[in-house]
Amino acid sequence: MAALGAFRSPATSSSNASFVSRSRLSTAPRTLSFSASSLSGDHVVSRTITGSRQKERTPLIVSPKAVSDSKNSQTCLEPDVSRSVLGIILGGGAGTRLYPLTKKRAKPAVPLGGNYRLIDIPVSNCLNSNVSKIYVLTQFNSASLNRHISRAYASNMGGYKNEGFVEVLAAQQSPENPNWFQGTADAVRQYLWLFEEHNVLEFLVLAGDHLYRMNYESFIQAHRETAADITVAALPMDEKRAASFGLMKIDDEGRIIEFAEKPKGDQLKALLVDTTILGLDDERAKEMPYIASMGIYVVSKKAMLDLLSKKFPGANDFGSEVIPGATSIGMRVQAYLYDGYWEDIGTIEAFYNANLGITKKPVPDFSFYDRSSPIYTQPRYLPPSKMLNADVTDSVVGEGCVIKNCRIHHSVVGLRSCISEGAIIEDTLLMGADYYETEADRKFLAAKGSVPIGIGKNSHIKRAIIDKNARIGDDVKIAFYFECSDSELVTKRFSLEKEKSFSDHLVKYHLGAASSACSLRNKKSSLIKFVIACYLCGALWMVESEAVIINNDNVQEAAKETDGYFIKSGIVTIVKDALIPSGTGYWLLRQTHYLPNCDES
């Protein structure tokens, strides 16, 4: 299967998968050759470079169709990616799967890993791959994204040349097109007039909500070597997640012969492949019998113009329409096999898991400490974080935090976070704050009975996401729960005052410490009924003890936006700028294993 080597990805991180070549791009001078067919009418001549380097012949690409950035030349002087590739990052739509994190910001502007934002991942990958002309397409809440990009990627940021740029293109209405972006392909189509002005050979189309580290330069080179119209980055995928991705079949040369976006049922089964052709061993091939699209494409400029303007002018999505369409009309669509960590973090659960994954020992799946491929972001000039008598384990702490006499375990603490004494933070992502409050501000808020930004005294937060500028009062319990098995209900006395009165027609279940080992099915079933009823009615204050049922298979979800929180996939998310008063308790209903049906006696 030597033919596959041309489109395999060299590893750029500490991945241990075995099916990809480990060779790195040589830093020595090299000549890239292009045929007339591979460049769709462009002609190749050569030039001689003299000076301190050894004399060599390198190709000069003369294109009758390309237009330079200055619009006064028809010549692309160099084939290197810094001049010949335009990066297009798709910012996505309203970000409903990540809501409420996208309530006040575009999806690419969501904070990540303590110091960063999602957009920093694809932009940094571009800069590290010498792709220096980058547009970010978005249409929702783009103010925060604009501000971050203007501060983070000014001239020369990341070491790229002065002609590079990172710019946000927001959706706009025009006399020719009064509609907003209808999908990924439509977003590119609406700005095609701008993109085609750039003197480039290819467009590099990227997603704004993926976490990975990739060498795009090798990706682009493979696209050119195979004379492809489109090259799709792909990776092996397990059966459990396969239906959530675009899947493909390839021939022995890596050409895509069949492609379907998020197939189901028989169509999904039809896309099963023997992934040993990728170099996987038999055991891993059984675990990952599909080849999935990463939503990352290199598209030749001529092919992009032809597909979006002529062949499929009504297509809105790359994955479900443009890629299958290009395959069906005989265009050369290649797969480029990527080896390394990659995660779509477009949902609350995936985003939460990916963030906490950076605390993994001894080496996380994705590391921000790889100096060969750094992740760039906005310079904030914050002081070092201060930790006073704090117990911090298996955690990542951002810049400028003040942490006092508290315990933090397996958590990510964002910049400018303030955590008060007695607090316990576990399995939690704190996004921090946009600004500091002065001591005078905090005293003024306390005098008014309000809550300063940060985590209050003796609050306990577990399995939660706390968005920026949240004000968590003292003695707040968020997702504070205990597990129970089929024969045991673990309860613990709750210290909050219960000043609410009980209605006469409701049964009061008072669970004392003696009930911590309760095994009666009928009593347990009745308790479940009561707690769930209280939960659904927003009346959990009726449960006098902290009797929290944990249900991994059927987690209850809630949208209490007026109260400042959401629950998705069993993860409590406190919205940006929310105020959670002192003494508040949020319970999360889950069960460890099986619990009897509520109708059982």
pLDDT digit string (tens) for 456-485? Answer: 999 999 999 999 999 999 988 886 443 443
Q: How many CB atoms lie within 10 A of CB 492?
A: 15
Take residue 452 and report the two structure tokens written for it: 């300063």
How far is it between the farthest Cα atoms of the chain? 94
**Residue the block writes with tokens 């395959």:** 327
Coil, strand or helix: which one is 318?
helix
What are 92-117's pLDDT values in tens digits?
777 788 999 999 998 999 999 999 99
Would you place residue 201 in the very low, low, confident or very high pLDDT band (cuts 50, 70, 90)? Answer: very high
Q: Does the pLDDT of residue 489 top 50, yes or no?
A: no
Count the alpha carbons within 13 Å of 263 in the hemisphere toward its beta carbon.
22
pLDDT of residue 460: 92
Take residue 390 and report the two structure tokens written for it: 């704090």
Distance spanning both ends of the chain, measured CA to CA: 62
> The whole model's pTM is what?
0.75
What are 356-373's pLDDT values in tens digits?
999 998 889 899 999 899
- The sign of the torsion formed by the CA atoms of 222, 224, 227, 233 equals positive
Distance, CA of 144 to CA of 420 (rounded, Å):
28
Are 208 and 91 spatial neighbours (Cβ–Cβ below 8 Å)?
yes
Would you place residue 585 in the very low, low, confident or very high pLDDT band (cuts 50, 70, 90)? Answer: low
pLDDT of residue 325: 93
pLDDT of residue 81: 82
From 463, 510, 495, select the one nearest 583 (Cα to Cα). 495
Query: From the centroid of its chain, how far is CA 389?
Result: 34
pLDDT of residue 80: 81
Mean pLDDT of 164-175: 81
pLDDT of residue 590: 38
Are 371 and 43 spatial neighbours (Cβ–Cβ below 8 Å)?
no
